Amino acid sequence: MIESKKFSPSTEELADQVREVGYCLIENIIPEDKIELIKTEISDAAHAHSSDYAAENITHLSGTINYAQSFAEYIAHPRILALVETFFGPYSRISSTTTTINEPGNKRGMWHSDWPFNQRNAGHIPVPYPDMMVHITSIWMLSTFTKDNGGTLIRPKSH
């Protein structure tokens, strides 16, 4: 019997996808048996220390790593770091860990760019943007994203 294996794209294939459409999907970084523990720890920390300025029905926590460390080994996973180093070399760094929990009743937010491109943030890069990569954002889906529950929308090739 031949055992089927899940396709796991190479670092170069992932980098090509980022160059082409602006994002890629790296699956199975966090083992399935760890997801609930991580999700619970992050949720508990976010609810205990949520920012007062978060929008209605959103629980927001900046600096999540200061309150929960169970996910730390995964944000520095070798597959992720290899991809980041493709663009930034060996001196890249993880600069921020933020949790956003869309609570029941939350309405979908408006289209926006993340830092440093969001012109509403004080520390943004002014337009016109340089023709170079300066930042990578990662989204960790600890709950199933569906059309019905309002998963993150990405506009391909908007990078």
Rounded distance between C-alpha atoms, residue 141 and residue 35, angstroms: 10
Give whole-number Cα distances, 121 to 13, 59, 61, 139, in Å. 32, 19, 17, 19
Could you report the per-residue pLDDT of 72-128, keeping only the tens digit for each? Answer: 999 999 999 999 999 999 989 898 999 998 888 887 777 888 888 888 888 888 889
Helix (H, G, I), strand (E, B) or coil at 52: coil
pTM of the model: 0.83
